[in-house]
Amino acid sequence: MLAAGLLAGGLAQAQSTTASNPPVSGPATLGWQACQVIKNDAPAQLACFQKWADSQLPANASSGALTTAPANPATGQSETAILMLPAVNNDAPDGKPIGCRNPEYSDLSRFWELQRGTDCDTFALRGYRPVSVAFVMSGGVTSPPVTGTAVPPTYKHAETKIQLSVRTKIAKGLLKSGEADTDDQDSLWFGYTQQSYWQLFTGSLSRPFRSTDHEPEGVYIYPHQIDLPGGWKYRLSGLGLVHQSNGQSEPLSRSWNRVYLMGAAEKQLGGDASLRLQARVWDRLRESSGTDDNPGIENYIGRGELTGTWQIDKANALGVTLRHSLRSEARGSTRIDWTMAPKASPNYTGLRYHVQFFSGYGDSLLDYDKRRNVLSVGLSLVDW
């Protein structure tokens, strides 16, 4: 009896409600409640819900368009109202591509979000250096120390390298901003990079992680649009503070802090091809001799670096990084990177095949004072 009464009341209310006079809160909610209690008669419950739903349709839905289907010529029945939902938009609310993915801007502008039109807002997680997993062959590795007459374990020269690197923009428009999409905008970033060497193939030693370096970093970026000879354009200056350590105890503990200046320029070659140059020089923050785990590290890893990148096309890029101690006893390193998008990735997402060759000092903090040649082949995720 109760169900029948609710059903009758709900249907009567639904019939009396029109699109021009939508229901209000309160007793009007009995419409769907009446349908809910008809659990033993599925067709009747479905019809009840349909009648109640039809009664809720406004003349013009704010989230979509209310249209009508043509009348059925066979039956002559009246047209049925159809609510058309808005299309899904994967871009920004204004319909433009997301700023740091907008191909109308240059690679440097998108990477550092130098212009207002490339802004992806603060505290969004972005890639920094490549996130990679690689098979590594090297000329030598550092074995852990032992005490007494114990025989030191032997590490294999074949191992696995894993690198994680992310960053986020924590502030923007501090000293430079504008209203137009092409206006420059300065920014403050925080980044973190972790690189690990894993003795995956040394089962006799339970496959330990031989070395893990941690590198938190803060950097302020000031944008420019300065034309240079030869079609180059100077795009940014930066000031950074970086800490790097391996988190181990003595005698394997390594750590240092440095402040650096940076600058970058680029040249468009047409299509998807471009050239980029980035230079950094740094100065180590001094430590007392009693707490310095790696005296003279800057004489090996260097005091400055120059990175050149040739974006050959949308799928291929070739990069060279040179580091130098800037002293008469020249030390440093050379690193060559080649990345190629898989053919199975037609949209050229951030996944890349990655081949890297390193020669010199500082491939890892543990081996900072040992010259090494390292070849790695693997997969990397870039520009995500």
Specify if 275 maps to a domain. yes
The parent domain of residue 159 ranges over: 103-145+155-288+295-381
Give the mean pLDDT per block of 10 residues along the chain (384 residues): 47 44 43 74 81 71 47 54 42 62 92 95 94 94 65 86 97 94 97 97 91 97 97 98 92 93 97 96 91 91 97 94 94 97 74 96 93 96 83
Residue 34: its pLDDT value, please? 76
Residues 179-231 have pLDDT tens digits of 999 999 999 999 999 999 999 999 988 999 999 999 999 999 999 999 999 99
Question: Number of folded domains in the chain?
Answer: 2
Specify if 91 maps to a domain. no
Residues 107 and 38 in one domain: no
Cis before 251 (ω within 30) = yes
Specify if 329 maps to a domain. yes
Residues 29 and 135 in one domain: no
Specify if 89 maps to a domain. no
Which of 57, 84, 111 corresponds to the end of one domain?
A: 84
Specify if 196 maps to a domain. yes
Residues 229 and 317 in one domain: yes
Q: Could you tell me which residues come within 8 angstroms of residue 261 by beta carbon, excluding any fewer than 6 positions away?
A: 237, 238, 239, 240, 280, 281, 282
Residues 129 and 215 in one domain: yes
Report the distance separating Cα 95 and Cα 205, nearest Å. Answer: 56
Residues 76 and 130 in one domain: no
Residues 312-343 have pLDDT tens digits of 998 899 999 999 999 988 999 999 999 999 88
E strands present in the chain: 65-68, 81-84, 125-127, 131-138, 158-172, 187-198, 209-227, 233-245, 255-270, 273-284, 304-311, 316-324, 332-340, 351-360, 372-381
Q: Cα dist. 384→297, 341, 350 in Å? A: 33, 14, 6
Residues 253 and 115 in one domain: yes
Residues 113 and 66 in one domain: no
Residues 17 and 139 in one domain: no
Specify if 302 maps to a domain. yes
Residues 331 and 369 in one domain: yes
Residue 121: its pLDDT value, please? 92
Residue 360: its pLDDT value, please? 96
Residue 249: its pLDDT value, please? 83
Residue 324: its pLDDT value, please? 97
Residues 68 and 129 in one domain: no
Specify if 92 maps to a domain. no
Residue 24: its pLDDT value, please? 42
Residues 26 and 126 in one domain: no
Residues 35 and 141 in one domain: no
